[in-house]
Structure 1
Amino acid sequence: MTPQKPAPTPRAFMLSFDDGPLPGKTDAVLDVLSRFRGEDGEPLRAGFFMVGDAPERFLAGRRYFAPYELWWRKGSMRRHPELVARALAEGHIIGNHTVHHVWARWPAYRHMDAVREEIQGWEEHAEAAGWNHPTAPRLFRAPYLLHTPTMTAAATELGYRIVGGQTVGDATPRNGLRAVEQQIRHILNTPDTQPALLIFHDIRPVTTCHLGALLDRLQLEGHDLRHFSA
């Protein structure tokens, strides 16, 4: 008789969301999060790495986004400050994801001045929406997780902490619920004493439609949902 493999040890995990805010998407994610609690019993705190003001039109986005980018309709703190304000009011943490969601390999972003403008320009939109510059955590996640030396140097110089994480695959074209579930389980079934920081995208349909059910199943399996901390 072949011995059965032991079940994976449940693992702690935290949530973060990139590329919002976008009406009908970010608010749906906030609605889902409002019914979950962290390890202390308080309303769950997640991290939202928001975009300052992504272009509204496809061709305008070509100047900033990665050449392979298909999901061109991204968030804007400038156009949707009410979603930023709601996230903050509900206890979530806002992080810097640049003004335009820039792909760091474009020639312009090899230069510190251009990257500084993207990071500091984000702050203007965040502050207008209620982000408190002196007291709020200063967290930075590069779009596409492309933390080039220039990106990292500029963010560090401006007092930001670089935040990584592990993507759940919801930004991959043609990935549906099953693919996302498989990626999450691969992450959580990898032994580690540290909580996993999962990266979702609050502008993606697979996330807005299925986040609640995903979290319910993960908790039923014994995984430990915790407050975002970076």
Structure 2
Amino acid sequence: MKKLIMLSMVVFLTFPLFQMSTVQAAGYGWGYKKNFNHELPYIGKYESMLEEYGAYYADKTGQKNIYLTFDNGYEEGYTDDILDVLKNKDVPATFFVTGHYVESEPDLVKRMVDEGHIIGNHSYHHPDFSIITKGAIKEELEDLEKAVAEVSDQDELKYLRPPRGIFNEQTLKWSYELGYIHVFWSLAFIDWETNKQKGWEYAFNQIMDQVHPGAVVLLHTVSSDNAQALEKLITELQKEGYSFKSLDDLVLKDKLPDPVYGYE
């Protein structure tokens, strides 16, 4: 019998703690049933909530696509290396940034945009959305959007990853009404502990063991393991037939009408 493993994000800037999914404050920590069968993880009651408000956690078409996403709250010196790999391998990514990151690393944010990557909204001050008002959420998102526009050519942020991974039906609804698309993830592992890095093979094996068609992968650029493993991961996954796509590809494809076959 498969062991039920739930992932719950309680993040301070970009620091997640994985534990059983529970109600935290007025919200839920994002969680799913982890598996190593290279299959889409089961998210239970969250499925209907995400569908109602146009949110994503994976590409459910069954195609061998992968979507790389990074959460950036502060810098440890590895983001340039990661961007170098993405550029050399011609692979897109989405970087969910906070106000602190934009203020402290404007050149890196500009480089991300200049090299064709997407900046996602991780809020300005990284509060728990489930305990603040809709107006406060709006301010957090708009302030971050303005900050990114000041240092780069991206003047609109449409993808949102909630701080600490905490959400509920109300925060999904409010964000949807404000024009944002929630993006969670279907593959993650403990990669943020900068003083407990385990070598590039750890990151490589964690992703290869959990990878599945349509995976939205959550990584942190503060990890030296990730920086050292990324090129090897991309090369191996491409050998296995995976294609790396942007979140724009996922959302556009999902909004296209179903093909019509045959003749009337």
Q: Return the TM-score normalized by structure 1.
A: 0.69
Q: Unaligned regions of 5+ residues in structure 1, if any?
A: 1-6, 37-42, 54-75
Q: Quick check: 1:210 aligned with 2:210? A: no
**Matched-pair contact (CA < 8 Å) for 1:21–1:84:** no
Number of residues of Structure 1 aligned to a counterpart in Structure 2? 186
Partners of 1:83 and 1:117 lie apart in 2 by 24
1:225 has 2:243 as partner: yes
Name the SS of the counterpart of 1:49 in structure 2.
Answer: strand
Q: What is the distance in 2 between the residues matched to 1:137 and 1:116?
A: 12
Distance 1:84 1:23, change over 3 A: farther
- Indicate how the Cα distance of structure 1 residues 126 and 226 shifts in structure 2: closer, same or farther if over 3 A, else same: same
Which is richer in helix?
Answer: 2
Structure 2: which amino acid aligns with 1:77?
V
Question: Tell me, what secondary structure is at the counterpart of 1:102?
Answer: coil
SS in 1 for 2:127: coil
Q: Which runs of 4+ in 1 moved over 4 A?
A: 7-10, 172-175
- Identify which of 175, 184, 187 aligns with 1:164: 184
Q: Could you say which residue in structure 1 is the equivalent of 2:113?
A: 88
Among 72, 82, 85, the alignment partner of 1:32 is 85
Q: 1:20, 1:51 within 8 Å by CA — same for their partners in 2? A: yes
SS, match of residue 34 in structure 1: helix
Q: Does 1:52 align with 2:99?
A: yes
SS of aligned partner of 1:22: coil
User: Secondary structure in 2 aligned to 1:29?
Assistant: helix
Is 2:226 the partner of 1:185?
no
8 Å CA contact 1:169–1:175 kept in 2: the answer is no
1:150-189 deviation per Cα after TM superposition (whole angstroms, max 9, x unaligned): 432332222111112224314365563455334323432x
Q: Is the 8 A contact 1:112 1:150 kept in 2?
A: no
1:102/1:209 Cα in 2 relative to 1: closer, same or farther (>3 Å)?
farther
Cα 1:167–1:20 change in 2 (3 A) is farther
Q: Report the identity percentage.
A: 26
Larger RCO (CA under 8 A, 6+ residues apart):
1
131 and 163 in structure 1: CA distance in 2 versus 1, 3 angstrom threshold: farther
- With 79-88 and 178-187 compared, the bigger mean Cα shift is at 178-187
Deviation at 1:142, TM superposition (A): 1.0
SS at match of 1:95: strand
Deviation at 1:35, TM superposition (A): 1.2
Give me the whole-angstrom Cα distance separating, in 2, the residues matched to 1:219 and 1:228: 15
The answer to which of 22-31 and 176-185 deviates more is: 176-185
What RMSD, in angstroms, separates the aligned Cα atoms of the two structures? 2.8
1:32-90 deviations in whole A, cap 9, x for unaligned? Answer: 11111xxxxxx32211111122xxxxxxxxxxxxxxxxxxxxxx102211111111010
Structure 1 pair 169–87 and aligned structure 2 pair: CA distance change class (3 A): same
What does residue range 108-187 of structure 1 map to in structure 2 within 5 Å? Answer: 109-133=131-155, 136=156, 138-171=158-191, 173=193, 174=196, 176=198, 177-187=200-210
SS of residue matched to 1:78? helix
Q: 1:154 to 1:121 in 2, by over 3 A?
A: farther
Structure 2's unaligned 5+ residue stretches are 1-36, 40-62, 252-264
